[in-house]
Amino acid sequence: MARFPRSALTALVLCGGLLGPVASPARGEVCAVDDTDREVCLAAPARRIAALSPGATELVYAAGAGERVVAVVAYSDYPPEAREVASVGSHTRVDLERLVALRPELVIGWVTGNPAEQLERIEALGVPVFYIEPRSFEGVASAIERLARLAGTRVAGDAEAERFRQGMAALAERYAEAAPVPVFYQVWDEPLMTINDDHLIGQVLNLCGGVNVFGDLERLVPRLDEEAVLAADPEAILAGGMGEENRDWLTHWERYPELTAVDRDNLFFVPPSLIQRPTPRLLEGSRLFCEKLDRARERRGEQGS
């Protein structure tokens, strides 16, 4: 009777003995806390990384680990080298089979952009998932640092994070005392959508001394009607657009000459890829943003004279 349990126990002890060394912290282990507050540890820096959103791809490249990226998803177009990397579908439906076949050692998931079930599935298959979703400038910088730690490219990554941090800090300092400009930022045209102060773009607006006329709205990406824009009468309208050159959304507003922004010709186009992705290119986008608002301030003088 007692025999079987004892032999089972022996087996357990044996297994434990075998597994012991593997489970203990190995040399070269790297850890980082992701944006869902989970600590992700790798026995060694990841040599094969899959980035499941265009933003994640940019961040991994920014962290200096571009050469380690083995899988991306559709629209991962920056930096240009990323276009050459194998695609594993779209960020909404990842081809798990192809992803697994590329043997990634680390998957960078997008908290709200990838289907949660698929990310859970990838983890169940034994591939660690690092969730990111930067919601602030510091979030972008720290994401670069944390990715660099997991990829073992801290020198390059920390430098890039620092460059971004200092660039943003310089902008903040320069515009700390700037005269406020009431701004409407247009994310999309049909339906008409904007962002509130919590959104990363809203934070850029505030940084440059702009005042988001819809900043107090509760939703992160509120939907509006045109009447609301006319009532708010912003001094400047900034818009993204479908492509990198498209100004159609702005010409639409020219039918309302009574708008201050139209009257002073403060209708500005900002390439969406520079401002709508939470990546270091945000610095460039922010500079552009601030320049546009400076131009709006200059035109106040012209009006007065």
Site residues, other proteins (CB under 8 A): 74, 87-90, 92-93, 95-98, 100-101, 103, 111-113, 115-118, 120-121, 125, 133, 219-221, 223
Structure tokens given for 150:
């997991």
Question: Would you state the torsion angle of the CA atoms of residues 250, 256, 257, 261, taken in this order, to the nearest 10 degrees?
Answer: -50
Comparing CB distances to other proteins, the nearer of 40 and 288 is: 40
Comparing CB distances to other proteins, the nearer of 87 and 246 is: 87
Question: The sheet that has 129-132: what strands, in order across it?
Answer: 69-71, 49-51, 106-110, 129-132
Comparing CB distances to other proteins, the nearer of 17 and 126 is: 126
Structure tokens given for 207:
């940084």
Q: How far is the CB of 95 from other proteins (least distance, A)?
A: 4
- Tokens 């993204």 locate to 240
Comparing CB distances to other proteins, the nearer of 110 and 289 is: 110
Comparing CB distances to other proteins, the nearer of 96 and 232 is: 96
CA distances from 69 to 5, 40, 64, 151 (A): 49, 18, 10, 10
Comparing CB distances to other proteins, the nearer of 92 and 166 is: 92
Q: How far is the CB of 16 from other proteins (least distance, A)?
A: 23
Q: How far is the CB of 56 from other proteins (least distance, A)?
A: 15
Q: How far is the CB of 48 from other proteins (least distance, A)?
A: 13
Comparing CB distances to other proteins, the nearer of 53 and 279 is: 53
Q: How far is the CB of 126 from other proteins (least distance, A)?
A: 8
Sign of CA dihedral 165, 167, 171, 173: positive
Q: How far is the CB of 229 from other proteins (least distance, A)?
A: 19
Q: How far is the CB of 122 from other proteins (least distance, A)?
A: 10
